[in-house]
Amino acid sequence: MSKKVAIIDLGSNSARLALMQIAEDGSYQLLDEIQEVVRIAEKTGPEKMIQPSAIERAVQAVKTFSKFCDANKVAEIYSVATAAIRNAHNGQAVLETIHQETGILFRVLSGEEEARYEYLGVVNNLSFDNALIVDIGGGSTELILCQNRKMVRCTSLSFGAVTITDNFIANPVINPDEIKKLNTFLYAQYANVSWLKEAQGLEVIGVGGTMRNLGRIDRKKLKYSFDILRNYILPSARAVAIYFKLQNTSLAERKTIPGISKGRVDIIVGGVAIAATLLNHTKAPNIRVSGSGLREGLFYENLFKDQAVPIVDDVVEHSIQNLINGYQVRKTHVEHVAKLSLFLFDQLCSCYGYGAAERKLLRIAALLHNLGAMICYYDYHRHTMYILLNARINGLTHREQILIAFITACHSKVCLKSQFKQYADILLPNDENIVRRLGSLLKMGKKFNKHGAGMIEDVICAMKKGAIKIS
């Protein structure tokens, strides 16, 4: 029997809820998200006291979450609080008030626990080996060093976008002296984290609202064609340029910059300052924007509670199988189509100089080519392409995801010429040939397994005089 679970993160800047549905077969999907700006860390001052207005905002937000959970018949709620509550002298009293008013009990995470959940959220959603994960929150910044996909070091710094803004950026129009003091402070903080020397030259995987806004600002400026932020690559030079631009804008001007969320306009400079100075300090080549973090980490810990370590072995494969189960795909059919298509590929790949990268594209396209039948069997190629261009397929680059979508739609009624033009900023010059050739192999694989009967077990083919002979 399927069940719904809610994960609530009471953060320093915003409170967020994610509603997940877990099916009987273990597949899962995100059903809904809610975000409320609560600014718990705002004006806590040296006394470290959460203000009455912030408490009221938090109570009202959690009341909304509680009613939402009741309406959606949520079976389990996992609720945690982070830096603002953790660091405040009246943090526990605030949680008691919230509990009395809403019935929801929060667990306060330590900085190390917060970092671990962020790591679990990232490692189960992105393919990487070595990286520095950075989560810029409202009241803290978590730094996590990963080597061979394992978390080896972490530090929680006691400042975030909200607290930096409160302490260094006092006016709507930013004073250059404020930026100078802020940068000096941040570089000094990083210098105190001795293990950051081990992160020199590693890419930064960005978690949290500041990092997402940085990615959106860059995407909007470039008119980036693919409408998915997860796994977006932002070169460090462009991130630093955004920081310099923001320094020279007023609050009113920042409200007009595409990509900045309404609830983050007044704290975006402080958040981006943390990111830009860290990029300079570690000489990171880029930020890769993660679409997952603490809430997803909490979800995976509970989803994989029977495993010794709540981490998937292969991010891409796990995501594929989750889609197959979620869309009720005939598994034996698509696996046989993939098998036959790959038989053809392995015998013909040398003719075109193709290797492991192209084989990966064909295999995934074959396994997912039938997703659209869940919407309507007729014209399912078109539905499949739409799903794949918008689905959460973890571990794939944007180019890979687009190519896989096109391969499944190849030789259908979909006009791919216009699609290639739409994504010209991401695709490579030879990608149309790759799609046509791999699409042909997939089409043959489907023909050989017509009606899913599995009657053909093997395919032998050879290139003779410019033609392919199949037996």
Task: Indicate whether 148 pLDDT > 90.
Answer: yes
What does the buried/exposed string (b/e) look like for 185-212 if buried means 16 or more CB atoms within 10 Å of the residue's CB?
ebeebbeebeebeebeebbbbbbbbbbb
Could you read off the pLDDT of 4-44 as tens digits, one per residue?
999 999 998 899 999 999 999 999 999 999 999 999 988 88
Model confidence band, residue 452 (pLDDT cutoffs 50, 70, 90): low
Rounded mean pLDDT, 181-197? 97
Query: In angstroms, what CA-CA distances link 134 with 51, 150, 418?
Result: 28, 15, 38
133 contact partners, CB below 8 Å, separation of at least 6: 118, 119, 122, 142, 143, 144, 145, 146, 204, 205, 207, 290
Could you read off the pLDDT of 68-86 as tens digits, one per residue?
999 999 999 999 999 899 9
List beta partners, residue 133: 144, 205
∠ CA(410), CA(414), CA(415), 5° rounding?
Answer: 100
Model confidence band, residue 351 (pLDDT cutoffs 50, 70, 90): confident
Give the architecture (CATH level 2) of 112-295: 2-Layer Sandwich (3.30)
Task: Indicate whether 380 pLDDT > 90.
Answer: no
Task: Indicate whether 451 pLDDT > 90.
Answer: no
Q: Token digits for 11?
A: 């953060």
Q: How far apart are CA 237 and CA 284, in angstroms?
A: 10
Rounded mean pLDDT, 225-242? 97
Domain spanning 3-108: CATH 3.40.50.970: no
Residue 399 has what DSSP assignment?
A: H
Q: What is the pLDDT of residue 416?
A: 84
Q: What is the pLDDT of residue 460?
A: 82
Task: Indicate whether 471 pLDDT > 80.
Answer: no
Q: Token digits for 260?
A: 């900045």
Q: What is the pLDDT of residue 238?
A: 98
Rounded mean pLDDT, 348-368? 94
Looking at the domain 315-470, which fold is it? Hypothetical protein af1432 (1.10.3210)
Q: How far apart are CA 270 and CA 99, in angstroms?
A: 32
| Range name among 186-195, 320-329, 371-380 with the lowest pLDDT average | 371-380
| 315-470 and 3-108 share a CATH fold | no
Q: What does the domain layout of the chain look like in residue ranges? A: 3-108, 112-295, 315-470
What percent of the chain lies above the pLDDT cut of 70? 98
Radius of gyration of the chain (CA): 25
Rounded mean pLDDT, 356-373? 96
Q: Token digits for 148?
A: 């061979």
Q: Token digits for 283?
A: 């000489």
- Amino acid 108 reads V
What percent of the chain lies above the pLDDT cut of 90? 84
Q: Token digits for 424?
A: 């010209």
Q: How far apart are CA 411 and CA 442, in angstroms?
A: 10
Could you read off the pLDDT of 297-314 as tens digits, one per residue?
999 999 999 999 999 999
| Range name among 128-137, 160-169, 372-381 with the lowest pLDDT average | 372-381
| Range name among 214-218, 369-373, 462-466 with the lowest pLDDT average | 462-466
- Amino acid 161 reads A
Task: Indicate whether 463 pLDDT > 80.
Answer: no
SS3 78: strand
Model confidence band, residue 375 (pLDDT cutoffs 50, 70, 90): confident
Q: What is the pLDDT of residue 172?
A: 85
Q: Give the strands of the sheet with 3-10, arranged side by side.
A: 28-37, 14-22, 3-10, 76-81, 107-108
193: nearest Cα among 159, 162, 135, 154: 154
**Half-sphere exposure at residue 243, Cβ-oriented, CA atoms within 13 angstroms:** 24
Longest dimension (CA), the chain: 83
